[in-house]
Structure formats: structure tokens, C-alpha cells
Amino acid sequence: MAKLKAYSLSEMEDKYIGKKGTKERDEYEYELRMDLLGRMIRTTRKERNLTQEELGELVGVNKSQISKLENNANSARIETIIRVFKALKAEIQFNVKLEDNRIEIA
């Protein structure tokens, strides 16, 4: 019986999505980060015992906008994301990397 070769997640991503630095891989990683951001918002909202409607009122947006943000943060403006996390009383930090320099925005 032939032995099966095991592959790491990184190897599979390289093979099926593209190597780091390619357009396809960058888009994949961006989508993944946005999905995680939406999940963090949903989880934190639920931990704070808030409905989407209540969070929307705190932020000044409709319930539907909170739902869209939780399900797909891609379309959200950074200002809205910041307001959501402030309403959730959550600390946020942004890291922006420009070539060899690092900028932190808190």
C-alpha cells in the first residue's frame, strides 16, 4: 500500500491559491481577514448581549448595515468599523506596513 504524503496548509495555499505576493493570494488573504473581522464583531456583540439593532443604534447605522458588516466586512468603511468597535467598548489597533517601515494606528 502506498504511503500518502501530508501537505501543510501553507503548501496547499501555495499550490491552489497562489504563492505569497501574487494577486490571487493577496485577494484570498484580504478576504480571509475581512471574514475574521466580521466574525469578531458578531462574537463581541453577542458577548455584550446586544442585538444588531441595538448596536446599529449605538453606531448610528441601520440593523441591516450591522448584518452586512458581520457577514462581509469588505464593503465597510474604516470609520464605520472603528465606530462599531468603540460602541462595543473594544480596543482596536491597526498596523500598516509600508515596505520596511511600520506604522501603528490605535
Contact assessment for residue 73 and residue 35, using Cβ atoms and an 8 Å cutoff: yes
Query: What is the CATH number that goes with domain 19-105?
Result: 1.10.260.40
Span 21-75, pLDDT tens digits: 899 988 888 888 888 889 999 999 999 999 999 999 999 999 999 999 998 777 7
- Domain boundaries along the sequence of the chain: 19-105
Burial class (CB in 10 A: 0-12, 13-18, 19+), 6: exposed
Cα 31 to Cα 5, 24, 28, 40, 102, distances in angstroms: 29, 11, 5, 14, 22
Mean pLDDT of 6-32: 88
Q: Are 62 and 84 in contact (CB under 8 A)?
A: no
